[in-house]
Amino acid sequence: FWLVLRRQRDGGTRWAETAQALGLGLDAASRIELSSALDGATTARPMRGTWGGRDAAVWVSRERYSSRTTGWKRYVFHTCCSVGIRGPRGPAFSIVPRKALDGVLGGAGFPTGLASFDDRFRVAGPSPAEVLAMLSARAPDGVSLAERFVRLSARGWSLAADQDAVVARRRGVTVDVSAIRTALGVLSDLASGMER
């Protein structure tokens, strides 16, 4: 029990230090605790603030699953980063990671024609032409929005987006300031490409 409390306290301290280094505030508490997989308690309080002039948040999500062999309940933690989209363009859409059974069980979305992007993501929305134009538009450095999605996902982050925000998700509790800063920076670039 003591080890669990100490782990929570130390993890919470590191999380708070990361928030401070990023210039983000913690939601509604000055002291936070990270959950361990042993106690199933609440996870870290979200960090919130602005990044690149957009609303940003970093939080830990927890998924519970049962082991097929033992039946034990286990938890998987993910660090999630989100950057809001100001003045989104066009109609509603969604970009989500592709799953193995997409197309077999429905939900195939529409192809963009960009092979590396289509291998990793599924796009859905009422106006494919507008979404495809947005994804293929190139930034001043010559890199398209779709290519930016692929580059960040190659760094171990799972990406999703809609007309409100771009979200990156990475397995484990990440307190590495540079990793989160990089993710928020790329998300901010992606968000700028989705704005009017």
Using CA atoms, how far residue 86 sits from 29, 55, 130, 146, in Å, is: 28, 9, 17, 19
Q: Among 48-57, 79-88, 94-103, 114-123, which stretch is predicted with the lowest mean pLDDT? A: 94-103
Q: Which of 77, 86, 83, 87 shows the shortest CA–CA distance to 24? A: 83
Half-sphere exposure of 75 (CA within 13 A, CB side): 17
3-state secondary structure of 8: helix
Residue 69 is which amino acid? Answer: T
Any idea which of 30-44, 128-142, 147-161 has the lowest mean pLDDT? 30-44
pLDDT digits (tens, 9 = 90+) for 12-71: 788 888 999 999 998 865 344 454 433 334 457 899 999 999 999 999 888 877 777 777
pTM: 0.79
Separation between Cα atoms, residue 184 and residue 5, nearest integer Å:
30
Per-residue confidence (pLDDT) for residue 125, from 0 to 100? 80
Asked if 29 contacts 48 with a C-beta cutoff of 8 angstroms, the reply is no
Q: Provide the 8-state DSSP code for 53.
A: T
